[in-house]
Chains A and B, each alone.
Chain A
């Protein structure tokens, strides 16, 4: 297994700036997630690491060795594609054996058999080995394509939204399996997703990309608790963060068109700001300092989302269990003062 370093990678497709001066470092044995909306440049980053695309500028190195000039085959990485890309003219067994049989490795057949069998057992697809790939379900296909990556011991695993084509139930179980597999193998894994839950649950560290720019790198807790920009704040967390336009002055923040006024904890800000409040930090209770009226409640079983109106602003709060609030009823709430996110000009965090 290897560490990966990207330095100042730039890639354009025609007029489109797919990646703009991206620098990243992925540690050996780390589960690293690239998170971002569609078109952020996540897949391009993976393809550049695999050698399927050439960057216009910048350096890619594995273990300190620059690999820019190496062909994909010589980089010794494994790629799990979003579309699975199982070779349709081969059986599951041959698909799994394909990387081992490559002219580069020329693994002897007994070892191929042993490795394929082991990988198939690990992924519980042993009963499918003789099957043609076209006759598999989505979950089975994805297991096979993961199997094709783990039969050899590549330096890096690259996974491009491998779970996004699966139904919710299957996605959850494969998520756990993948994480487990990664931890037991100790493999360096780069995982691309647009699903923040996948990112938060699986990653050791997350890099957030948007429109070719790297917005933030950090642990899931970092990203959630200290989003660097409004884009990151909105991308991570369900229900979404409350973003309210506000005025900052004298260490106080006054939310526009409402009675919400909170102290600015640390940092400097004045003038126009955006105040971010996670829904769980809007705490409903009779002793609350602020007052609002209930617009709507959404019951999710384990918790309930309460949509509030406070002056001219709308807020979402999340409370445990069922909430006994009727529409248009008046509620009191508090805001956790130490968990506020204040974003200044350009949506950059200031506190």
Chain B
């Protein structure tokens, strides 16, 4: 601290006027208020579909389809219960009998107003689990591979580096759907059709091109001097990478993780074509809820909600790193 104090010039007269730009007058104040209000309005407009979906998920069926839409309603878990179960419509007598019973589970009680009884589990739970496994694994794999290759591209003299990087980027130039048929045929031959492994490999390779480029930008920003210092201080290149580079690339890794996860999680076309029962993920399953007897809006909304939650969790868990600045170092640009 002593050195810092010594560097500041002595203040002879007290400063009586504010030099802060934002305190100059009323005008900037009003402008910042207006900006704030506009931002809030835009946020509301953007969030309406999400809020609407959330409300619908908790509405009983009549409220979900009523015109004009109801804003106030008694929340129910009907949507969620029907999402995860298979049900049978009860006849009037059966329904009366069910109403008299006292040994009903809470799920059965929830479905009672719909005159339905639960006869088994639906596929959705497993499909959601498939999504978690496939999206999670492919995200972890693509981030690991991407960090390593981005580090190599950033630090070493790789022969044909520019061509390789362009090749990696060019993977993104072709619309993915174009290659669905060849991939479908290859997967059939290789026995990867409808397997979690097949989907993990596919999503990993899709994510890699983008992840390498994104991470390389972040790693380029980390000055090499840190590693030089660590090498001289008695560490190997790999140890220096783990102890010095990785902690500093956290922001980039977090961003790459979120982007990769969102892609793998949301992917629809390949999931629809390359999976059937075993490895089917959630995205192609949600529209199938439409099928059975009338449009189950609250079930669909509940499915979308359940589908949304993991992405929110991942993003929320990494938000601190996403928000933090990239260069936070103690290297002086001389």
Checking A75, A84, A102, A139 against B331 with a beta-carbon cut-off of 8 angstroms, the contacting residue is A84
Residue pair B232, A83 in contact (C-beta under 8 Å): no
- The answer to the question of A170 belonging to the interface, with a C-beta cut-off of 8 Å to chain B, is yes
- Choose from B231, B232, B235, B332 the contact partner of A84 (Cβ within 8 Å): B332
Q: Contact between A79 and B7 (Cβ–Cβ < 8 Å)? A: no
| Interface range for B | 20 to 34
How far, in whole Å, are A78 and B3 apart by their CA atoms in the complex?
26
Task: Give the number of chain A interface residues (Cβ < 8 Å).
Answer: 42
Measured in the bound complex, the distance between the Cα atoms of B234 and A72 in whole Å is: 7
Contact of B232 among A50, A88, A103, A139 (CB under 8 A): A50
Are A72 and B226 in contact (CB-based, < 8 A)? no
Partner of B334, one of A78, A83, A133: A83
B235 interface neighbour in A75, A77, A102, A127, Cβ under 8 Å: A102
From A47, A89, A102, contact of B248 by CB (8 A): A89
- Chain B contacts of A164 at CB under 8 A? 334
CA distance A336 to B332 in the complex (A): 46
Complex contacts, A79 vs chain B, CB 8 Å: 228-229, 232
- Nearest neighbor of A135 in chain B, beta-carbon distance: B330
CB distance from A290 to the nearest CB of B (A): 45
- In the bound complex, residues from chain A placing their C-beta under 8 Å from that of B239 are 102-103
CA distance A222 to B235 in the complex (A): 40
> Which chain B residues lie closer than 8 Å to A83 at the CB level?
223, 225, 331-334
Q: A173–B298 Cα gap in the complex (Å)?
A: 75
A82: B residues at CB distance < 8 A: 334
In contact, B248 and A88 (Cβ under 8 angstroms): yes
Q: Provide the residues of chain A in CB contact with B229, threshold 8 Å.
A: 79, 81, 85, 87, 148
Chain A nearest Cβ from B155, distance in angstroms: 12
Residues of chain B with a CB closer than 8 A to A139's CB: 3
Q: With an 8 A cutoff between CB atoms, is B72 at the interface?
A: no
Additional pairs, 5, CB under 8 Å, beyond known A72-B228, A98-B233, A137-B4: A75-B232, A83-B223, A86-B331, A158-B232, A165-B334
A99-B234 in contact given A83-B334, A137-B4 (Cβ < 8 Å): yes
Is the C-beta of B197 less than 8 angstroms from some C-beta in chain A? no
Asked whether any CB of chain A lies closer than 8 Å to the CB of B247, the reply is: yes
Q: Beyond A71-B236, A87-B244, is A81–B225 a contact (Cβ under 8 Å)?
A: yes
Q: Is B156 an interface residue (CB 8 A)?
A: no
Contact present for B7 and A137 (CB under 8 Å): yes
Question: Is A168 at the interface (CB under 8 A from chain B)?
Answer: no
Task: Check if B226 sits within 8 Å of A77, measured CB to CB.
Answer: no
Contact across chains for A136 and B236 when beta carbons are under 8 A apart = no
B230 at the interface (CB under 8 A from A): yes
